Structure 1
Amino acid sequence: MLKRLTRIAAAMTITLLLAGCGQQSSSKTSGNNTYKTMTSDIIATMDPAQFTDAVSGQTLTDTMAGLYRYKGNKLTSDLAIKTDVSADQKTYTFHLRHGSKWSDGTDVTAADFVFAWQRVVDPATKSPYAFIMSGIKNADAITAGKMAASQLGVKAPDKYTFVVSLDQPIPYFKSMTCLQTFDPVEKKAVEKYGKNFAKTSAQLTFNGPFILKNWKGTDDSWIEVKNPNYWNAKNVHLKKITYQAVKENSTAMNLYKSGKLDDVSVTGQTAEAAKGQSGYHVIKQPWETYLRMNSQAVPAFGNTKVRQALSMAINRKAFISKVLGDGSTPATSAVTTNLFYNAKTGADFAKESLKGGYAQYTTYNLKKARKLFKQGMAEVGQKTLNFTFLANDTPAAKETAEYLQGTFQNLSTTGIKVKMTIKTVPQKSWLQMGTAHQYGMMASIWGPDYPDAENFLTRYTSSVSNFSGSWSSQEYDQYMANAAGKDATKPQARWNDLLKANRLITKEQGIIPLYQWGTVHLTKPSVKGVEYTPNSLFQYIGATNK
């Protein structure tokens, strides 16, 4: 009751706050082609080989240039002006732009790509995204420590030609290179700064649309200025972008109405109260929040019926309404909707995956959930499911953890019970502890690096220990191997492989899908041309704020 009254009081406060905004406050803007926006947290890293989070990914997208870049939903050339693909689709020859410069004045060359990609797969780098290089010749052997990084299937036959050799065809390879892990890195800068490389903005170099300035590594705000040497600088109209980490909805609204931020995103009751306000809009995103369970820390999570019970105990629609209050929708599988479509039929992959009864595993059914929970706990020989839920310190994460705590408690019946303890840590620690498997359960987030179901599903194969939680399946691994191997050039066969994999992880609830994002934004009307791309990032080339 106290929690409910607190939320009602908060909603009343927010409503009054928004009602007092008026047209005058909402019309204030940075203008002069400067743009001030909020972000959810600080930059975790600016090293392309080390990033895993959206904040770092967005900053790298702003400040670095790779082979390709999305312009809206269209894949366009960035540094690769032309790409030749061999008949067997195993060799890509990228012809690079001449005259592209690093921020220290040095030419960007094919050797920078060779160095960067070799650095990612080198076990000494400990890149959490090294797995994404799988499929490039020798990548798997190198990451396993069986070959030297210099043996990776990449080479620079001349200054502006970059050649990549693949083990097998990768249908989405061009779009995959938009991921920041594939960005070039200046070898001279890495060697100069050593272990301190990319710790601050002064200890790395940039070649993208903007240059990061005066970032000290732990700042809760940072500035990017237009890079006059970027090859497409004529279409970069914003002179400066200012990011500010904001964790409280009330703070975001105060900054927006006072004109100190041009764009904010809000959740919960704040998002509900913001409806109808000037600048209100919802950005539908292919991001998914899901629950992963560590069966090494909590053996009962290794039981399929226990996992299914936890999933069916969640009323996702009620959760979104009570906790998020935004445009999010219930997640139904490991792959989001509106992402990947059948080339022949146009069918949505995620929706197709649910046919045949698979929707039941993510549909609220407390009666069935209690039955499965009782059976599962009997199979593992336990009376109490005792675990720690690891959450970051954002308001949405805290409220999510509290809601799930109450939800899972509903599984408790005579003789068996659930005891969930919440542990809250800062975002950076949360990322580190997740990678180190220092949790019982946690809510994780994934957005696609390229619009293909494989980008979601590969993360849950047995070899990807950083992301898999603890669930693994040889059958699942085989489906994914077929999609990446013998069926890679057969669109329908590959589709079927991925479909089987998604249905399997959905049935076994190897992860528990929670919700697909729909983020509520308030954006000043003066802001034009900011685009949200298929790789889940904002694109500011062409954007204005006058």
Structure 2
Amino acid sequence: MALLAGCGSSSAPPKNGESLRLALPLVPRTLDPAMAADLPSLNVAHELYAGLTRFSKDGVVPDLAEWWEITQGGLVWTFHLRPSLRWSDDRPITADDFRRAWLRALDPATGAPLAGPDLGIIRGARGYHATGKGEIGVKALDRQTLRVTLQHPVPWLDQLVAYPIAFPVPARGAAFSGPFRLALRRPTRLVLERNFNYWDMSAVKPSRLVLTTSTQDVDAVLPRGLSPPGLPWIDTAGPTPKGSIELPTLATGLLWFVTRGTPLADPNARLHAAWALTHLNLGSAPAPLIPPEMPGASFVNSHRPVQLQEAPHPVRLTLAWAQEDLGASRVAERLRQSASQLSGLQIHLAFRPVPSLRELLALAGPPPRTGVDLVLLGWSSKILDAYNLLDVFPCGSAFNVARWCDPSYDALMAKAVRTLDDRQRWRIERRIVEKLHEAVPAIPVYTATDHFSLRPGVHGLSWSPVGLYELMGMTRS
């Protein structure tokens, strides 16, 4: 591959503290942390800006916040900033910078694409996001103390504020709070240089990063994923090439069964189809609903096989997917190859591919257009808990492609999100997964991975399975 071809070039390899050249799948369209909406943009914002916390290979760690306390049963979170924090232009970073940035992100005039999903849990945020008016539950108690009051308790606000949407922005001008600052911006290239004002500057190994879309003569080809977590997800990374390093993710490829106005409205028809489809060779090992990398996955996942149900009558089903979704396209091709086997089980498939995720969402809904019975569309969790994936199935979810509804499921979800103790919450989530197992509004068809490549001797890339990586530790031995 091009990365390896670069190994034989005459350029001297970078040493610790020198420049590293890294290949992105695309150069971000925006460097505004409030406007980042794809993984490359989120990751570059993650290098230029810092938040209260930060995703790392070990989960979530303190960043600009030195510590925080949780009171009123998880309803109020108080973050205490490190002393003497400064922007790259030497101005102080204060708690009010966070409050101002969050109000800006929630302002409907800003049009921040992830503000609602990521900040909507704050008290008053949804109303402010809709109207630009009202108070929200964020208060700077002093220059170093930020108090956040939520609509209801959640266990993972420390994870939500680790996303760029929650990063502070300066009151005026361009300045940076993360490990790097922007030195040069071109349509196909970004140059980042070490930010000497970052609080943990001693951990920043490279003095300079050159980010480009070219894979020629680079020190690393960075992960290929584009779809952000916490939204409908498609596989853009594809299988791990030979010589690359495979990375676990929190993404699951789902095959949705549309349960209203289709033959799959009959629960027995769904169970029969689920049994038939889970016994096909779809090109990978049988997938669990909750990815193995998720904390608590081995406890939460159901380990019972789908029980065989007799087909109530022959069913004709139409499958839709986005052709830019590499994982869905592989599954669709396997299903096409298995057409005769499925026909023997009284399941007759027709295929309706569309070019893009945008067109698939218009077709699949909810509500789906007439004539769509099955939809291949994944989900990637934005938090290190099964709840975010399970949250696509409640009756009122905007992402419930199946249009399946069970009020008892929703009641368990409301209980889970308010349960702070991990093991107690996992017990509830296991009951939730069992309900999905019995009703089969969707079945998992693959667990997704990403991948990257390093030139020999280069190391130090840190990866979080939510899809965010850390470049500040990269160096060459």
Q: TM-score, normalised by structure 1?
A: 0.69
- Structure 2: distance between partners of 1:463 and 1:210: 41
1:231 aligned to 176, 185, 199, which one?
A: 199
- Structure 1: distance between partners of 2:20 and 2:63: 23
- What is the correspondence of 1:36-55 to structure 2 with a 5 Å cutoff? 36-41=21-26, 43=28, 46-55=31-40
Aligned residue identity for 1:539: E
Aligned residue identity for 2:295: F
Match of 1:137 in 2: 123
- What is the correspondence of 1:135-284 to structure 2 with a 5 Å cutoff? 135-140=121-126, 142=128, 145=130, 150-186=134-170, 188=172, 206-212=176-182, 215=185, 219=187, 222-245=190-213, 255=215, 259-263=217-221, 271=241, 274=242, 277=243, 280-284=244-248
Aligned residue identity for 1:208: G
- Structure 2: distance between partners of 1:414 and 1:295: 20
Residues 523 and 29 of structure 1: CA distance in aligned 2, closer, same or farther (over 3 Å): farther
SS at match of 2:306: helix
Query: What displacement does 1:533 show?
Result: 2.3
SS at match of 1:503: helix
Aligned residue identity for 1:290: L
Match of 1:354 in 2: 302
Match of 1:340 in 2: 295
- What whole-Å deviation, never above 9, does each CA across 1:267-308 have from its counterpart, x for those lacking one? 77873xx2xx5xx53333333233446678x84565545555
Aligned residue identity for 1:287: A
Residues 158 and 268 of structure 1: CA distance in aligned 2, closer, same or farther (over 3 Å): closer
Tell me if the contact between 1:35 and 1:545 (Cα under 8 Å) persists in the aligned partners.
no
Query: What displacement does 1:127 show?
Result: 3.7
Residues 386 and 502 of structure 1: CA distance in aligned 2, closer, same or farther (over 3 Å): same
More helix by share: 1
Question: Is 1:516–2:447 an aligned residue pair?
Answer: yes
Deviates more, 1:471-480 or 1:439-448: 439-448
Unaligned runs of 5+ residues in structure 1 are 1-16, 190-203, 247-254, 322-328, 342-348, 362-367, 378-383
Match of 2:408 in 1: 475
- What whole-Å deviation, never above 9, does each CA across 1:229-248 have from its counterpart, x for those lacking one? 322223211233344458xx
- Structure 2: distance between partners of 1:375 and 1:211: 63
- Structure 1: distance between partners of 2:134 and 2:12: 50
Q: TM-score, normalised by structure 2?
A: 0.78
- Count how many residue pairs are aligned between Structure 1 and Structure 2: 457
Residues 92 and 360 of structure 1: CA distance in aligned 2, closer, same or farther (over 3 Å): same
Residues 261 and 129 of structure 1: CA distance in aligned 2, closer, same or farther (over 3 Å): same
Tell me if the contact between 2:409 and 2:432 (Cα under 8 Å) persists in the aligned partners.
yes
Query: What displacement does 1:400 show?
Result: 4.5
SS at match of 2:202: helix
1:287 aligned to 251, 265, 273, which one?
A: 251
- Structure 1: distance between partners of 2:392 and 2:106: 17
Tell me if the contact between 1:411 and 1:417 (Cα under 8 Å) persists in the aligned partners.
yes
- Structure 1: distance between partners of 2:45 and 2:301: 34
Match of 2:228 in 1: none
Aligned residue identity for 2:138: V
Residues 154 and 293 of structure 1: CA distance in aligned 2, closer, same or farther (over 3 Å): farther
SS at match of 2:79: strand
**Residue identity (%):** 21
Residues 304 and 104 of structure 1: CA distance in aligned 2, closer, same or farther (over 3 Å): farther
1:78 aligned to 63, 81, 85, which one?
A: 63
Match of 1:502 in 2: 433
- What whole-Å deviation, never above 9, does each CA across 1:377-410 have from its counterpart, x for those lacking one? 4xxxxxx423542232x75564454334444675
